[in-house]
Structures are given as structure tokens and as C-alpha cells.
Amino acid sequence: MRDRICTRAFTMVEMLTVIAIIAVLAAIIFPVAATVREQARRTTTMSNLHQIQVALKLYKQDNRVYPEVLLGYVDFDNSNNPIPADRIRGGFLYQAYIRDITIFRSPNNPVNDKVSWRAVEVMLPDPSNPSVRTNEINGVLVTRPFYVFDSMDVGQTCPGSGVFEQHYSLYRPYMPTNNTAGPLDDMCQLQYNLPPENTIVTWVSDHRSCDRTGRPTAGSKDIVLLLSGTAKPVDSRIIAQKMTGNDPNFSSAGQNKFWCLD
């Protein structure tokens, strides 16, 4: 007798069971993979910030002051077209102290071209009172051109918002505090000779997440560089509130270290 070869197909129940298992595994694996990728990007940003800090120390040793900005302002040619960031003629840390232009960009920065730029509001000493900083001179808002590629000098208040703010700055807003010595300016600023080691140098907001109102969500982290050389994730809400003069961890009574990180 000729042997009969029997074939048996998968039943509908078996196929649905396999699909359900695959869906469960995907639901578990995808978030984990996304978390791992984000952690790797944060690590890259922290590494870049460490290199910025090394260059800052060298700049300070050579010039006795910290640079006005880290990368440099946008450079324009004779036709008023922006020169690519990697070819600027008036860089500060770049090219004398940092040769690799990619150090100034975080992996989460969606802009990779080196010519896009924005005019960003900055703080400068008030001409009528140099001890006070202002963002207006003679009633005109003070802005400077920054490359969008540059994640270390500027960043968006929320990724995708299109609203940029200065992060690295020699001059923070003047915020006097009341104590027995009278109003004291915040000493956690690079403009002073000996700022504390926990002074905030800059922060990268490209890793920030926001809600529909444009506010950082719970658990959102900015990568912050301190003068000590430490680079670490910090609650985005604390940094955002510092920008508006409303840090919940700051007590105004007898203190003048608003721009230090507790």
C-alpha cells in the first residue's frame, strides 16, 4: 500500500494565539528599545558636555574670563548669507579648543544642517547700570544670531515649539535677595571671578518632553552641565522655572545662589 502523507494546517485559534503573543512581545520590546536609545543619546550629550567643560577651563586659563558664547554667533558673508557653522571665522571654543563641530549638537537636535539660524533674546549689562542685566537697550529687545545646530548655547523651550532661548550665558537676570547685607546679586554666574562649583553653565533641552500647554511633563529631563564638570539629567520643570524666576527649590530668604543647582 502506498503510504499516505497527511498534512495539517494551522487552525484559526492557533494563528490568533501566535499573533497575540507577537503583539504582547512587541508591546514589551518597543518601549524598552526606545528607552535604551534615549539613554544612549543622553550619554552622548553628557559626553559632549564634558568636552565643553574641558575646553571652557582651557579658555579661562588662557583668557582669564569665560567666553561670551560657546560655539560662536552666526557668521555672514558679504551677501548677508550665513556661513556654515563649521566654517565660522569668529568662533570661541570652536575651533581653537574644540575641533569637532558635532560636539555642539545633541543627538536629539532635529536640525543637522549648519546654516539655519535664529535671532535669540540675550541678557547684557544695562549701559546705565552695569551691575544690572537687561534684555532691552533703549527700548529695543537685545537679540543675537545663533545656529539652530548649536544645542549648547541655545535650545527650544519645548522640542518642536520653535521658541528658542539662550542657555549658556555670562549674564543671568538680576535677582536681588533680602538679607542683613542688603540686596545681593546671584553669585552663580560666570561673569564673576569665583562662581561656586555647582553653578549652572548650560543645559540641553532637546531631551525634554512637554504637554499640550507647552510645559515640561513629569519625568522630563534636561541634561545640565555644572561648573565642576558634572553633567547630569535634571528635572526639566526646575530648569524651566529657573528661567522664569520661580524655582520651587529656591528660598529667597538670605540666599543669592539662584543659578546654582542644589
Which pLDDT score is estimated for 31? 66
Amino acid (1-letter code) at residue 219: G
Identify whether the C-beta of residue 239 lies closer than 8 Å to the C-beta of residue 203.
yes
Question: Cis (ω within 30 of 0) for the bond into 95?
Answer: yes
Give domain limits for the chain. Answer: 12-243
pTM (global) more than 0.95: no
Average pLDDT of the chain is 87
Pairwise CA distance, residues 19 & 9, whole Å? 16
- 47-91 pLDDT tens trace: 999 999 999 999 999 999 999 999 999 999 999 999 999 999 989
Task: Give me the mean pLDDT over the 217-226 stretch.
Answer: 96
Q: 243-252: long-range contacts at Cβ-Cβ below 8 A with a sequence spacing of 24 or more?
A: 243/165, 245/173, 245/175, 252/177, 252/178
Residue 136's contacts (CB-CB under 8 Å, 6 or more residues apart) are 142
User: In what helix (H) or strand (E) does residue 35 lie, and over which residues does it extend?
Assistant: helix 12-63
- 31-52 pLDDT tens trace: 656 677 889 999 999 999 999 9
Pairwise CA distance, residues 87 & 103, whole Å? 15
Pairwise CA distance, residues 67 & 93, whole Å? 8
Pairwise CA distance, residues 85 & 75, whole Å? 8
Identify whether the C-beta of residue 254 lies closer than 8 Å to the C-beta of residue 179.
yes
Which pLDDT score is estimated for 254? 46
Residue 77's contacts (CB-CB under 8 Å, 6 or more residues apart) are 83
Q: Determine the length of the chain.
A: 262
- 161-208 pLDDT tens trace: 999 999 999 998 876 655 544 456 788 899 988 899 999 999 999 999
Is 60 exceeded by the pLDDT of residue 249?
Answer: no
Task: Give me the mean pLDDT over the 206-233 stretch.
Answer: 95
- 87-131 pLDDT tens trace: 999 899 999 999 999 999 999 999 999 999 999 999 998 888 887
